[in-house]
Amino acid sequence: MTDDSKQIKSVLLIDDDDVVNTLHSIILRQSGLVEKIQSVLSGSEALAILSACEKDQRWPSIIFVDINMPGMNGWEFIECFNEKFVANKHKCKVCLLSSSLDPCDKEKAEQSELVDFYFSKPLVPENVKTVCKELSVSI
C-alpha cells in the first residue's frame, strides 16, 4: 500500500492466548492495511489501554476481542466498553472472535448494537479486508 493515509491507524487485539495474538498480528501486518497493532491478554488490560487512548485521543480503529477468556470474557468486556466508552463507539469497529461453534454466540453478536462483526478464529485476511471496507480503506 502506498498511501499511508488509507491505512488503519491502530488495531487492538484482545485474546488470552499470546500465540493467537502473535498470529493475528502477523496477519494484520501482512495485510499492509494497519499502521499500529497493540495486543493484550485480558479484557481488563484492554479497558486500561482504552482509558489511555481516550485521554490521548488515539482511539483504535478496530478492536478484535476473543469471546472465551478467563476472568473477563468477551461479553463482559463489551458490557464494560458500553458503560465506559460508548461515546467513542463511532470511532471504531468492534469484532468478536471465537473458536466456539455455539450458534448462540453468533446470534447474540448479531443482535448487539456494539458488535460490528463476528468471526471464527483464527482471523484470516478476508476478515481484515471486510472490516477495512467498512472503514472505507482502499484495498
Number of neighbouring beta carbons within 10 Å of residue 126: 8
Strand partners, 39: 13
Query: Does residue 90 belong to any structural domain of this protein?
Result: yes
CA–CA dist 23, 53 (Å, integer): 24
pLDDT in tens, the chain (139 residues): 444 446 788 999 999 999 999 999 999 999 999 999 999 999 999 999 999 999 998 999 999 999 999 999 999 999 999 999 999 999 999 999 998 878 888 899 999 999 999 999 999 999 999 999 888 765 5
- Output the pLDDT for position 138: 59
By 3-state DSSP, what share of the chain in percent is helix, strand and coil, each rounded to 5?
A: 50, 20, 30
CATH of the domain at 20: 3.40.50.2300
Q: Is residue 84 part of a domain?
A: yes
CA–CA gap between residue 136 and residue 139 (Å, rounded): 9
**Domain for residue 139, yes or no?**
no
For residue 69, the enclosing domain spans 4-134
Total domains present in the chain: 1
Instruction: Give domain status of residue 50, yes or no.
Output: yes
53 within some domain: yes
Is position 56 within any domain? yes
pTM value?
A: 0.92
DSSP summary character for residue 67: S
pLDDT at position 103: 86
